[in-house]
């Protein structure tokens, strides 16, 4: 007769009673002084009993149809058995105070096998869920807004939908943490329970392209803290040798230290000539239109005027006759002339006959244009235009809008001495090398946007430069789905490109850009690679698992970083990329409302704008209100948790997604500022000359508090987080033994020990000296 199997952990020794192997095998029980865990080997139901409490947690409901239990084996620190119907071996192992349940597919097949575990639907003992949605979220189990939002999402991929592969259950007195030791090929599905609460289940796909097909969940119990799951995950990473500190990264790439205290800014207006580069618009337009008229023979003005389209010519004539210049006319003309300046055939010797040229210009025009690099073509043409209009143009070294010496000097004069600057394209660096040099002179980090995620046909309409490679790669390099179809690219254009075959193209592109740059970028931003969208690739010539896909992405980021000694960043900042990245955009606040028609409807008050004008795309620059439900889900401090910062604050510098910048949503600006400072993460702005003038005072105020503090503790671990008030409006973070930061999101002052936190304010207190610094958004 078989009897139950009990494991009792007592002073580190497992005691085993008799073992039975049959359908009558009862539950298996593991015990120590922290908790008892009971698992049914037939249904995989798992109950947790925290020691010293009356709590019973249904950590997973059972399920039927798994088949008979066979081959039951006791091992050094656990047990294993087989489930015949689903061809799985289950291995349960107790390591320290954690329990790992591993499932291995016994008989590999050519088909994908989906397996569900755990199932969390009886929520009687659960107060709420702790999820690493972007930075981190606390989800009350009975919150209807959260429940409906998550249930409407459909299956959530655990590498893209979760920033880190874990979650937690708030049990009141305790926290139960689940860590996915294999983060790949998993999906979470949320559903409404019979009691109208939020339930969830996780499914793992055993795909045929893996040699060893395993899936495991590590469970641990902690005392009550909303960030306990993050602390558990951090410790697991450290024990696994998968954590790299920011200090270690600085040792390898010293320039990374410049991220400490740096605000992040995307600079817009990268055209060669901006409206700010013409010192006298009326004189410029008059000279261009009168000397470019039909009755004028020859001359540089006529040549340039003739290259403009009829609409632009009319705008030039109108501006020459007007009493003032409008933003519209200045923009139209500067864009049109910039377009001409990019053309290799812009120079016409007869047109410039009689125009005095500087030695640098003469040297450039004396060379065959086919021998010039793009930056040299741009430089030649800008110098030629300046030679033709020396009295009405700034020198080309000063040209530009967002990326320009004049804006950089204004940033520096405003006290912004540490910045990360991003440009929309490496072409901006080709156009404005003196601005790149100025940024580096000022001690800033500056880098281009780059991506290898999608590939387009060379003749694709409305393509983007990062998706252009060659026809051969387009025909052979696409990721292939299990059904043999090619995986469509971003916005369904082209295909997703296999990172396994892209590496030679990565090296050619980056080396080519660096070779042409008069002054090198010292940073590089690679889109998508840390977002978490990983692929199984069934192409015969480049098959890959999601693990292979991930490794290839990290390899290219590391190659760019190490070969060119640049500070590297990417989108998102998913946990798998933390060992490689210096910074990431999209963790603090992610993309919001993707696909929401109200945010794309031009008649809606929530319309976020399009990609026009190029000097400051409305989608980034235009300030709009955010819909109330998104404010609730993404910004409400009651539901925000610094989970990512608890794990990675001393490893990766993270901020907002460029689609959700610090100033984008006008009804979230103040709350986001308090959150940024509480979490000690930098702001992210979109600026050009006009936008900086508009927001200068706010940016200076935020920077004055953030930057000195971040220089001190930006590379230190966030060691704690607490809700101090019952309504969760007052919160506290701690960084080592150096600084504690308080935030009061409420409308009344709050006193904690000897610290008074005014309404809508952040207070930083140095623990050793009791020094206080205050930031307030109150009127």
For the chain, what percentages of helix, strand and coil (3-state, to nearest 5) are there? Answer: 30, 25, 45
pLDDT at 20 over 80: no
| pLDDT tier, 17 (very low <50, low <70, confident <90, very high otherwise) | very low
254 CB burial (10 A radius; 0-12, 13-18, 19+): exposed
Average pLDDT on 139-153 reads 96
Alpha-carbon torsion angle 324, 328, 332, 333, nearest 10: 10
DSSP letters for 246-257: HHHHHHHSGGGG
486 φ, ψ (degrees, to nearest 5): -85, 140
pLDDT in tens, 588-623: 999 999 989 999 999 999 999 999 999 999 999 999
- Ramachandran quadrant class, 768 (left: phi over 0; alpha: psi -120 to 50; beta: rest): alpha
Which residue has better confidence, 167 or 291?
167
Reading the block at residue 648, the tokens are 């990675």
Contact at 8 Å (CB) between 364 and 352?
no
Look at residues 755, 734, 520, 761 and name the one whose alpha carbon lies nearest to residue 646.
734
CA angle 239, 244, 250 (to 5 degrees): 155
If you average pLDDT over every residue of the chain, what do you get? Answer: 94
Residue 36 is predicted with a pLDDT of 95
Look at residues 522, 318, 534 and name the one whose alpha carbon lies nearest to residue 420.
522
CA angle 427, 433, 437 (to 5 degrees): 135
Reading the block at residue 203, the tokens are 């499914």
Please provide the distance, in angstroms rounded to a whole number, between the alpha carbons at the two ends of the chain.
77
Identify the sign of the CA torsion 226, 227, 231, 237: positive
Residue 24 is predicted with a pLDDT of 61
pLDDT in tens, 552-585: 999 999 999 999 999 999 999 999 999 999 999 9
Residue 404 is predicted with a pLDDT of 98
| pLDDT tier, 477 (very low <50, low <70, confident <90, very high otherwise) | very high
- Stated pTM of the model: 0.95
| pLDDT tier, 19 (very low <50, low <70, confident <90, very high otherwise) | very low
pLDDT in tens, 510-526: 999 999 999 999 999 99
10 φ, ψ (degrees, to nearest 5): -135, 115
Reading the block at residue 11, the tokens are 């002073």
Contact at 8 Å (CB) between 381 and 410?
no
Which residue has better confidence, 313 or 291?
313
Is the link from the previous residue into 441 a cis peptide, with omega within 30 of 0?
Answer: no
Residue 23 is predicted with a pLDDT of 54
pLDDT in tens, 86-113: 899 999 999 888 999 999 998 878 889 9
Average pLDDT on 528-538 reads 97
pLDDT in tens, 35-50: 999 999 999 999 999 9
Contact at 8 Å (CB) between 284 and 325?
no
pLDDT at 13 over 50: no
DSSP letters for 556-590: HHHHHHHHHT-EEEEES--GGGTTT-SEEESSSS-
How far apart (Å, rounded) are the C-alpha atoms in residues 583 and 246?
10
Contact at 8 Å (CB) between 676 and 595?
no
How far apart (Å, rounded) are the C-alpha atoms in residues 380 and 676?
44
Which residues contact residue 366 at a Cβ distance below 8 angstroms, ignoring those fewer than 6 apart?
none
Average pLDDT on 676-701 reads 98
How far apart (Å, rounded) are the C-alpha atoms in residues 124 and 121?
9
Look at residues 260, 250, 266 and name the one whose alpha carbon lies nearest to residue 653.
260
Which residues contact residue 514 at a Cβ distance below 8 angstroms, ignoring those fewer than 6 apart?
520, 521, 564
**How much of the chain, in percent, has pLDDT values that exceed 70?**
96
pLDDT at 369 over 60: yes
**Helix (DSSP H) and strand (DSSP E) numbers for the chain:** 20, 36
218 φ, ψ (degrees, to nearest 5): -105, 125
pLDDT in tens, 172-212: 999 999 999 999 999 999 999 988 999 999 999 999 999 88
Q: How many CA atoms lie within 13 A of 177 on its CB side?
A: 28
Buried b (16+ CB within 10 A) or exposed e, 568-599: bbbbbbbbbbbbbbbbbbbbbbbebbeeeeeb
Residue 11 is predicted with a pLDDT of 26
Residue 14 is predicted with a pLDDT of 35
**Whole-angstrom Cα Rg for the chain:** 30
Residue 5 is predicted with a pLDDT of 38
């Amino acid at each position: 007769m078989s009897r139950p199997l009990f494991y009792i952990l007592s002073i580190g020794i497992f005691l085993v009673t008799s073992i039975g192997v049959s359908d009558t095998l009862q539950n298996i029980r593991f015990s120590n002084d922290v908790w008892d865990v009971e698992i049914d080997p037939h249904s995989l139901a798992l109950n947790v009993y925290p020691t010293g409490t009356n709590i019973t947690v249904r950590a997973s409901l059972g399920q039927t149809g798994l088949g008979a239990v066979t081959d039951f084996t006791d091992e050094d620190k656990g047990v294993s058995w087989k489930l015949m119907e689903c061809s799985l071996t289950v291995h349960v192992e107790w390591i320290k105070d954690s329990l790992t349940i591993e499932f291995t597919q016994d008989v590999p097949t050519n088909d994908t096998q989906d397996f569900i575990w755990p199932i969390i639907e009886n929520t009687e003992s659960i107060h709420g869920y702790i999820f690493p949605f972007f930075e981190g979220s606390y989800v009350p189990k009975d919150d209807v807004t959260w429940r409906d939002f998550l249930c409407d999402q459909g299956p959530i991929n655990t590498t893209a939908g979760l920033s880190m592969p874990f979650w937690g259950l708030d049990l009141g007195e305790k926290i139960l943490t689940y860590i996915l030791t294999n983060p790949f090929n998993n999906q979470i599905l949320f559903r409404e329970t019979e009691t109208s609460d939020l339930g969830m289940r996780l499914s793992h796909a055993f795909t045929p392209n893996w040699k060893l097909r395993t899936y495991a969940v590590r469970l641990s119990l902690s005392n009550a803290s909303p960030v306990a799951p993050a602390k558990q995950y951090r410790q697991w990473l450290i024990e696994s040798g998968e954590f790299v500190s920011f200090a270690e990264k600085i040792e390898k790439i010293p320039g990374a230290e410049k991220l400490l205290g740096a605000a992040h800014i995307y600079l817009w207006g990268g055209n060669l000539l901006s409206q700010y580069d013409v010192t006298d618009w009326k004189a410029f337009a008059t000279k261009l239109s009168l000397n470019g008229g039909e009755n004028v023979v020859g001359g540089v003005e006529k040549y340039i005027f003739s290259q403009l389209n009829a609409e632009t010519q009319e705008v030039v004539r109108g501006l020459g006759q007007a009493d003032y210049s409008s933003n519209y006319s200045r923009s139209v003309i500067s864009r049109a002339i910039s377009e001409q300046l990019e053309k290799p055939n812009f120079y016409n010797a007869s047109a410039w006959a009689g125009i005095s040229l500087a030695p640098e210009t003469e040297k450039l025009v004396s060379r065959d244009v086919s021998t010039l690099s793009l930056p040299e073509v741009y430089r030649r043409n800008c110098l030629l235009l300046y030679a033709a209009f020396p009295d009405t143009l700034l020198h080309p070294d000063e040209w530009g809008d967002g990326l320009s010496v004049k804006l950089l000097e204004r940033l520096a004069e405003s006290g912004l001495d540490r910045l990360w600057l991003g440009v929309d394209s490496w072409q901006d660096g080709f156009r404005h090398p003196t601005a790149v040099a100025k940024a580096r002179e000022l001690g800033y980090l500056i880098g281009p946007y780059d991506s290898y995620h999608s590939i387009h046909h060379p003749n694709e309409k409305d393509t983007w430069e990062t998706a252009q490679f060659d026809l051969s790669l387009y025909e052979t390099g696409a990721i292939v789905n299990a059904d043999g179809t090619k995986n469509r690219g971003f916005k369904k254009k082209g295909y997703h490109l296999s990172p396994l075959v892209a590496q030679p193209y990565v090296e050619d592109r980056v080396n080519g850009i660096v070779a042409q740059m008069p002054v090198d970028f010292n940073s590089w931003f690679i889109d998508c690679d840390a977002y978490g969208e990983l692929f199984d690739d069934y192409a015969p010539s480049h098959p890959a698992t999601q693990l292979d896909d991930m490794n290839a992405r990290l390899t290219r980021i590391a190659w760019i970083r190490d070969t060119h000694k640049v500070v590297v960043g990417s989108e998102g900042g998913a946990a798998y990329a933390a060992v490689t990245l210096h910074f990431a955009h999209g963790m603090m606040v992610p993309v919001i409302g993707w696909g929401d028609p109200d945010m794309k409807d031009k008649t809606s008050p929530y319309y976020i704008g399009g990609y026009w004008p190029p000097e400051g795309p409305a989608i980034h620059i235009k300030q709009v209100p955010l819909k109330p439900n998104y404010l609730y889900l993404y910004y409400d401090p009651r539901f925000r948790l610094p989970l990512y910062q608890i794990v990675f604050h001393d490893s990766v510098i993270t901020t907002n997604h460029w689609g959700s910048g610090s100033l984008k949503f006008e009804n979230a600006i103040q709350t986001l500022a308090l959150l940024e400072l509480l979490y000690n993460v930098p702001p992210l702005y979109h600026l050009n000359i006009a936008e900086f003038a508009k927001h200068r005072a706010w940016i200076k105020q935020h920077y004055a508090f953030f930057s000195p503090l971040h220089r001190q503790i930006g590379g230190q671990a966030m060691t704690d987080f607490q809700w101090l008030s019952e309504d969760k409006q007052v919160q506290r973070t701690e960084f080592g033994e150096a600084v504690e930061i308080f935030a009061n999101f409420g409308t009344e002052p709050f006193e904690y020990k000897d610290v008074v936190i005014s309404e809508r304010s952040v207070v930083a207190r140095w623990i050793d000296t009791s020094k206080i610094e205050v930031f307030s958004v109150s009127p």
